[in-house]
Amino acid sequence: MRSPDPSPPEAATPKVAFEGACVTIEDRAILLSTTLTLAERRVAIIGANGSGKSTFARLVNGLIAPTAGRVTVDGLDTVADAAKVRRTVGFVFQNPDNQIVFPMVSEDVAFGLKNVGLAKAEIPARIAAELGRFGIAHLAERASHSLSGGEKQMVALCSVLVMRPRLIVFDEPTTLLDLNNRNRLRAAIAALPQSAIVVTHDLDLIGEFDRVLVIEDGRVAADDAPAAAVPWYVGRAS
């Protein structure tokens, strides 16, 4: 059986292209026509509640489809080539309860691996390595429902990382976490060899990022380095 391709630390950042992508729901424009290319290792999406950040993020791996225009990842259409795109782009939800579906942690982390045809014998080692990397190997045989919020968030992240996507989209990953777990997750994101697009209200998380998009009323209102985009956003909000 063929193993999924490993993602070496230097794996190239996939190129995400929005080509006139819009999302309109019930006659309301949620995301206005957006054309841009993302190819940086760390991209942040910030903006007010309801501005359209999650909608933007969900377009990247085809969780939602544009109602006009298209989004591609390395040239693959997120709708027509959805399965291939999801091999390249993992998605970590804000609330891990939306992501963790199996009663046992190890089953949850194993799920995707079984689907991509990793040899059964290789799965436990892959899971142990991934959980070990985040210091949570001891949770492998725990019931998922018994985990704390922070533990669940780390397990949800491991379930995505174990698939070795080249790009990970995080939707407000630190919102539900206490200070300790927030710091752990910040460190985990900073250390990831993969590329990341992070939707967040946590402006401290993104100071070292390569690029920040500020979404305002369904459009990209600013697109710059953190040193310029963050003060611009803070100025708009105050």
Ligand X SMILES: Nc1ncnc2c1ncn2[C@@H]1O[C@H](COP(=O)(O)OP(=O)(O)OP(=O)(O)O)[C@@H](O)[C@H]1O
Residue written as token pair 């492998």 = 140
| Helices marked H in the chain | 53-60, 82-88, 105-115, 123-133, 149-161, 179-191, 226-237
- 81 or 97: whose CB is closer to ligand X? 97
Smallest distance from the beta carbon of 25 to ligand X, in angstroms?
Answer: 4
Q: Which of residues 157-196 bind ligand X (CB under 6 A)?
A: none
Smallest distance from the beta carbon of 177 to ligand X, in angstroms?
Answer: 16
- Residues in contact with ligand X, shown as a per-residue x/- string from 7 to 26 under the rule CB under 6 A: ------------------x-
Tell me the C-alpha distance between 123 and 144, whole Å.
18
User: Is the CA virtual torsion 66, 70, 71, 72 positive or negative?
Assistant: positive
Q: Is 226 left (phi over 0), alpha (psi -120 to 50) or beta?
A: alpha
| Two tokens, residue 222 | 């600013």
Q: Which of residues 28-87 bind ligand X (CB under 6 A)?
A: 30, 47, 49-55
Q: Which of residues 200-219 bind ligand X (CB under 6 A)?
A: none
Determine contact, residues 198/45, Cβ cutoff 8 Å.
Answer: yes
- 52 or 112: whose CB is closer to ligand X? 52
185: Cα separation from own chain's centroid? 13
Identify the three-state secondary structure at position 23.
Answer: strand
Contact call for residue 144 and ligand X (CB under 6 A): no
- 175 or 181: whose CB is closer to ligand X? 175
Binding-site residue total for ligand X (CB under 6 A)? 10
User: DSSP letters along 116-150, please?
Assistant: TT--GGGHHHHHHHHHHHTT-GGGTTSBGGGS-HH
- 108 or 171: whose CB is closer to ligand X? 171
- 13 or 55: whose CB is closer to ligand X? 55
Smallest distance from the beta carbon of 98 to ligand X, in angstroms?
Answer: 13
Smallest distance from the beta carbon of 218 to ligand X, in angstroms?
Answer: 7
Number of Cβ atoms within 10 Å of the Cβ of 137: 13
Provide the β-strand partners of residue 44: 198, 212
Smallest distance from the beta carbon of 57 to ligand X, in angstroms?
Answer: 8
- 113 or 197: whose CB is closer to ligand X? 197
Smallest distance from the beta carbon of 76 to ligand X, in angstroms?
Answer: 23
| List of residues contacting ligand X (CB under 6 A) | 25, 30, 47, 49-55
